[in-house]
């Protein structure tokens, strides 16, 4: 591939053109930094998994007022949507609309970047640090040099639990986002969803929209489902970072929730969550993940009110059941899966038959199991390592990847969900936009000749 050679500065090489990579590229080009954005899947460009849905019933779980792509322009998305009043600002818009917003931002950047932005539909199989920066190795054998390299690979595809490994397709579906995940299902077919989080909610919404009326069981160890947003909630005012740690911090948050309500108590933590995570030891973080993560997730990542209301209706009709339990056996009987699970806290074993078992547990996080040749090459060479919790790639506070010995790279970075283990809260748009905004300015500062574009 050819990179424009009319600029004295080498480009930043961004690998991955989903939300994180696209927004980083946009921020860099706004600062006048040349960029090569690698994304081999054109359908995922500027959208990724989260905003690549084509289903209008899949809504954002953040209000429109907090969905600007730029932290220095909080009203940007509202203006793009044409929203001007408070009622509109409180809406939860379809995720496909946000995907279109991102794509238009990328197109606008292409038009104004004066050949500084290159989008390459190429497969990067290795990224190597050199004396002058980095070099991307493509599947074609070609090499592209850059000032720095950024891994923005998003979430890894989910995998079925081992207990389901012998179920044939389409009886078992590992990836709920696959176009054929629900293909061929009869309207009255019984389903088992493994997981009760936001992915399961999306799947239930799609089934409901398609006219499915068969029984759906969503199973997880605790059976928890996300709480609902208020139709119009109070905007949290800035508060100092909590001084407490560990169980004392948990007690302080619970006390605050009694005073102002649990939603506002959680929202007040948002500006401090990453710093609080880093202030705790690895052992304390592990205790949080083991004991509190499910409760944090259902309070922190909420449902749009209209989605929550519809889920409650379906539960009231007996069409959807959320169960707390542990799978103990799955076998095949004809065209059905026979599933047995033990109810949480009880010895009772339930047996149920499903026409399809769909994995809604969530994306894979352990990079040691990733199938991407790029990650395999970086791991084999010791350039990267998993974070201590096996949630992604280990990075330092400047988002530089850490090698096998824990030393940060000179000019290789990671952004987005890959960095979850180091900061915990890095899935939602407000968190990622701050991350890439800061990294773009950090990288721009390393390129003295470059001036900000008008």
51 contacts 19 by C-beta, under 8 angstroms? yes
pLDDT at 390: 95
pLDDT at 49: 66
Domains of the chain, earliest start first? 12-58+94-157+365-444 (3.50.50.60), 162-227+303-359 (3.50.50.60), 246-300 (no CATH)
Q: Where are the alpha helices (DSSP H) in 261-402?
A: 262-269, 273-279, 282-287, 293-300, 305-316, 373-381
Give exposure, 339-371, as e/b (b: 16+ Cβ within 10 Å).
bebeeeeeeeeeebebbbbbbbbbbbbebeebe
pLDDT-derived band at 88, boundaries 50, 70, 90: confident
Residue range 126-138: average pLDDT?
95
pLDDT at 2: 45
- Structure-token pair, residue 189: 């077919």
Of 179 and 219, the one with more pLDDT: 219
Strand runs labelled E in 90-190: 117-120, 124-130, 133-138, 143-146, 148-151, 172-173
pLDDT-derived band at 363, boundaries 50, 70, 90: confident
Inform me whether the pLDDT recorded for 154 exceeds 60.
yes
Please give the DSSP secondary-structure letter assigned to residue 85. S
pTM of the predicted protein model:
0.90
Q: List, for residues 340-361, the tens digit of each pLDDT value.
A: 999 999 999 999 999 999 999 9
Residue range 219-244: average pLDDT?
91
Q: List, for residues 14-62, the tens digit of each pLDDT value.
A: 999 999 999 999 999 999 999 999 998 887 787 766 676 777 788 888 8
Residue range 297-309: average pLDDT?
94
pLDDT-derived band at 431, boundaries 50, 70, 90: very high
- Structure-token pair, residue 263: 């939603």
Inform me whether the pLDDT recorded for 5 exceeds 60.
no
Cα–Cα distance, 245 to 254 (Å, whole number): 13
Inform me whether the pLDDT recorded for 294 exceeds 60.
yes
pLDDT at 205: 93
pLDDT at 450: 42
Please name the residues in contact with 88: beta carbons below 8 A apart, sequence gap of 6 or more: 64, 78, 81
Cα separations (Å) of 41 from 18, 37, 49, 115, 408?
10, 12, 11, 22, 30
Inform me whether the pLDDT recorded for 449 exceeds 50.
no
Inform me whether the pLDDT recorded for 134 exceeds 70.
yes
Cα–Cα distance, 15 to 313 (Å, whole number): 43
Inform me whether the pLDDT recorded for 229 exceeds 50.
yes
Q: List, for residues 387-406, the tens digit of each pLDDT value.
A: 999 999 999 999 999 999 99
User: Looking up tokens 């009772």, which residue turns up?
Assistant: 348
Cα–Cα distance, 168 to 165 (Å, whole number): 8
Inform me whether the pLDDT recorded for 362 exceeds 80.
yes
Instruction: Tell me if residue 417 falls in helix, strand or coil.
Output: helix
Cα–Cα distance, 320 to 215 (Å, whole number): 6
C-alpha closest to that of 342 among 323, 321, 362, 320: 323
Q: List, for residues 232-281, the tens digit of each pLDDT value.
A: 877 888 899 999 999 999 999 999 999 999 999 999 999 999 999 999 99
pLDDT at 55: 78
Within 13 A of 36's CA, how many CA atoms are on the CB side?
28
Q: Average the pLDDT over each of 140-149, 304-313, 357-366 and give the range with the smallest value.
A: 357-366
pLDDT-derived band at 113, boundaries 50, 70, 90: confident
């Amino acid at each position: 591939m050819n990179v424009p050679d009319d600029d004295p500065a080498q480009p930043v090489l961004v690998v991955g053109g989903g939300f994180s990579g696209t927004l980083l590229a946009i921020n860099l080009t706004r600062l006048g930094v040349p960029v090569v954005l690698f994304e081999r899947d054109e359908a995922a460009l500027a959208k990724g998994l989260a905003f690549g849905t084509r289903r209008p019933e899949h809504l954002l779980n953040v209000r429109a007022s907090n969905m600007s792509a730029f932290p220095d322009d909080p009203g940007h998305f509202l203006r793009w949507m044409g929203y001007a009043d408070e009622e509109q600002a409180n809406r939860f818009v379809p995720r496909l609309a946000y995907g279109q917003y991102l794509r238009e931002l990328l197109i606008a950047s292409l038009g104004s970047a004066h050949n500084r932005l290159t989008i390459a539909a190429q497969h990067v199989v290795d990224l190597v640090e050199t004396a002058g920066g980095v070099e991307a190795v493509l599947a074609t054998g070609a090499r592209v040099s850059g000032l720095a390299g950024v891994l923005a690979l998003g979430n890894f595809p989910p995998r079925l639990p081992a207990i389901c490994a012998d179920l044939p397709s389409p009886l078992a579906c590992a990836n709920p986002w696959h176009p054929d995940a629900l293909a061929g299902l009869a309207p009255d077919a019984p389903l088992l969803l493994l997981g009760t989080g936001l992915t399961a909610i999306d799947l239930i919404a799609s089934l409901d929209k398609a006219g499915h009326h068969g029984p759906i069981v969503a199973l997880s160890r605790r059976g928890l489902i996300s709480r609902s947003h208020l139709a119009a909630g109070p905007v949290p005012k800035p508060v100092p970072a909590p001084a407490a740690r560990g169980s004392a911090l948990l007690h302080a948050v619970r006390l605050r929730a009694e005073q102002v309500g649990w939603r506002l108590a959680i929202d007040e933590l948002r500006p401090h969550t990453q710093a609080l995570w880093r202030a705790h030891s690895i052992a304390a973080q592990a205790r949080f993940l083991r004991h509190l993560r499910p409760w944090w997730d259902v309070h922190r990542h909420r449902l749009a009110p209209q989605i929550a209301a519809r889920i409650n209706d379906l539960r009231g009709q007996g069409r959807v059941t959320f169960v707390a339990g542990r799978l103990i056996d799955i076998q095949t009987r004809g065209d059905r899966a026979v599933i047995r699970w033990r109810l949480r806290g009880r010895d009772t074993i339930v047996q149920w038959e499903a026409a399809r078992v769909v994995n809604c547990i969530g994306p894979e996080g352990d990079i040691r199991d990733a199938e991407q040749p790029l990650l395999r090459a970086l791991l084999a060479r010791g350039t990267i390592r998993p974070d201590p919790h096996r949630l992604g790639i280990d990075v330092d506070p400047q988002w530089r990847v850490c090698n096998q010995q824990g030393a940060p790279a000179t000019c290789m970075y990671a952004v987005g969900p890959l960095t979850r283990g180091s900061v915990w809260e890095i899935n939602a748009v407000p968190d990622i936009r701050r991350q890439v905004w800061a990294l773009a300015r950090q990288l721009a500062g390393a390129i003295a000749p470059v001036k900000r574009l008008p």
